[in-house]
Chains A and B, each alone.
Chain A
């Protein structure tokens, strides 16, 4: 069953507009395979019929599902390496000696826009040798319910665990389940997944000692960036740390942050006093 050309063009145009990914001619078979499960769920006779029905009555959710099915989300563990080195090498020691109440009862970290969970679990693994697991509370948030479910399950394919995860961490923190690998219970306990929109009031689980807000602000305009950063400040302890993506900064966006160079990058410390 081959996809009609106009259906293929509709889909490739949609995907290109939403994700900049190009589906050139020759990828019809790929598009069909990826959309087959969606077509089946919708009760369509085949993918072509499904796409036609979608064009006739496009719903945002259905369009989003199509784009998601065709764009691979390549998340890796310990992404960019530097923030995790900064976390154990600078942030945590600094929090300990900085005269803050210490980790009694726990070190609280917020991993915002956590996707399928690689970031919060990477944080947990990085901290596992530095903070006792019962003293670690990681709040992981995302807008996407499917991602949250994946995160809670903590089960990853062999291809996913090959991406940036040091082998010693794999054997220490995962157990095999069939062809997959699942985060060990002790580590899973340290992470709570919560649905949350950054534009809303901050999630529960704070006040936080560290916030990971990486590669998310880039999607917002400057006013929204400032708004989000202010909300983050509101749930971050004075002297607590914010970790952004490699190309991001608070400079020129929001007051109340002190940039601290660490290794090749920076971390941002919430200053006790806010500028007026």
Chain B
């Protein structure tokens, strides 16, 4: 995947924000309005969860979702349509988070003209290793008051 997504070409609307908003509207919240841009200093995560997919093509990139563990739990529950008191198994939690990364990542992949192959999603507590200059794009979001960061990384 060529990471040269010319974001400026999309007439002022950030397509990655649009994609994320659609994922949340359609599958997590059921309606628009619970996701907005993060207002204020960059969020700092105390106990983060990371979920990502890689796109392998002419050049390769990673679409990474990072959020607080508690937020990740709420996300998984919302996607699985489970109430706060229902137990979410670790497998369900990982699968749900991975699916969010998969749907966001898959749609980001569709933004670029070159064909690319999406890897299976990965979900970890440790930040995935990346090279220092590899960050191409970062979007800090506010979902129901909690922070969520989407970032795009160039892969070697």
User: 1/0 per position for A153-175, CB-CB distance to B under 8 A?
Assistant: 00001110000000000000000
Residues of B within 8 A of A42 (CB): none
Known contacts being A29-B144, A158-B107, is A179 close to B33, with CB within 8 Å? no
Residues of A within 8 A of B139 (CB): none
By beta carbon, the residue of chain B nearest A153 is: B11
Q: Report how far A18 CA is from B10 CA in the complex, Å.
A: 35
Minimum Cβ distance to chain B for residue A209 (Å): 36
Taking a contact as CB atoms closer than 8 A, the residue among A33, A72, A158, A179 that contacts B36 in the complex is A33
Residues of B within 8 A of A126 (CB): none
> Max chain A CB contacts within 10 Å: which of B11, B33, B34, B144?
B33
User: 1/0 per position for B105-146, CB-CB distance to A under 8 A?
Assistant: 001001100000000000000000000000000000000110
Which of B15-23, B50-58, B63-71, B75-83 touches A? B15-23
Q: Report how far A245 CA is from B144 CA in the complex, Å.
A: 39
- Interface status of B25 (Cβ within 8 A of chain A): yes
- Interface status of B13 (Cβ within 8 A of chain A): yes
By beta carbon, the residue of chain A nearest B18 is: A179
By beta carbon, the residue of chain B nearest A70 is: B33
User: Are the CB atoms of B34 and A30 closer together than 8 Å?
Assistant: yes
User: Are the CB atoms of B36 and A177 closer together than 8 Å?
Assistant: no
- Interface status of B92 (Cβ within 8 A of chain A): no
How many chain-B residues does the 8 Å CB contact rule pick out? 22
Minimum Cβ distance to chain B for residue A217 (Å): 29
User: Are the CB atoms of A178 and B34 closer together than 8 Å?
Assistant: no
Residues of A within 8 A of B15 (CB): 178-180
B interface: dominant SS: mixed
Residues of B within 8 A of A29 (CB): 33-34, 144-145
Residues of A within 8 A of B144 (CB): 29
User: 1/0 per position for A212-241, CB-CB distance to B under 8 A?
Assistant: 000000000000000000000000000000
Residues of A within 8 A of B11 (CB): 178
Taking a contact as CB atoms closer than 8 A, the residue among B16, B26, B33 that contacts A30 in the complex is B33
> Max chain A CB contacts within 10 Å: which of B25, B26, B32?
B32
- Interface status of A39 (Cβ within 8 A of chain B): no
Minimum Cβ distance to chain B for residue A32 (Å): 8
User: Are the CB atoms of A178 and B10 closer together than 8 Å?
Assistant: yes
Known contacts being A176-B110, A179-B107, is A72 close to B18, with CB within 8 Å? no
Q: Report how far A36 CA is from B142 CA in the complex, Å.
A: 13
Known contacts being A29-B144, A29-B145, A158-B107, is A179 close to B34, with CB within 8 Å? no
User: Are the CB atoms of A158 and B10 closer together than 8 Å?
Assistant: no
Q: Report how far A29 CA is from B34 CA in the complex, Å.
A: 7
Taking a contact as CB atoms closer than 8 A, the residue among B22, B34, B36, B145 that contacts A36 in the complex is B36
By beta carbon, the residue of chain B nearest A35 is: B33
- Interface status of A196 (Cβ within 8 A of chain B): no
Residues of B within 8 A of A158 (CB): 19, 22, 107
By beta carbon, the residue of chain A nearest B113 is: A176
User: 1/0 per position for A7-41, CB-CB distance to B under 8 A?
Assistant: 00000000000000000000001110110100000
Q: Report how far A178 CA is from B19 CA in the complex, Å.
A: 10
Q: Report how far A268 CA is from B111 CA in the complex, Å.
A: 45
Residues of A within 8 A of B34 (CB): 29-30, 33
- Interface status of B42 (Cβ within 8 A of chain A): no
User: Are the CB atoms of B31 and A178 closer together than 8 Å?
Assistant: no
User: 1/0 per position for A48-70, CB-CB distance to B under 8 A?
Assistant: 00000000000000000000000
Q: Report how far A36 CA is from B39 CA in the complex, Å.
A: 12
User: Are the CB atoms of B33 and A159 closer together than 8 Å?
Assistant: no
Residues of B within 8 A of A179 (CB): 10, 15-16, 18-19, 22, 107, 110-111
Minimum Cβ distance to chain A for residue B110 (Å): 7
User: Are the CB atoms of B31 and A30 closer together than 8 Å?
Assistant: yes
User: Are the CB atoms of A159 and B10 closer together than 8 Å?
Assistant: no
What are the nearest 5 A-B pairs in CB distance? Answer: A178-B15, A178-B10, A179-B15, A33-B33, A30-B33
**Can you give 5 A-B contacts (C-beta < 8 A)?**
A29-B33, A33-B34, A157-B22, A158-B22, A159-B26
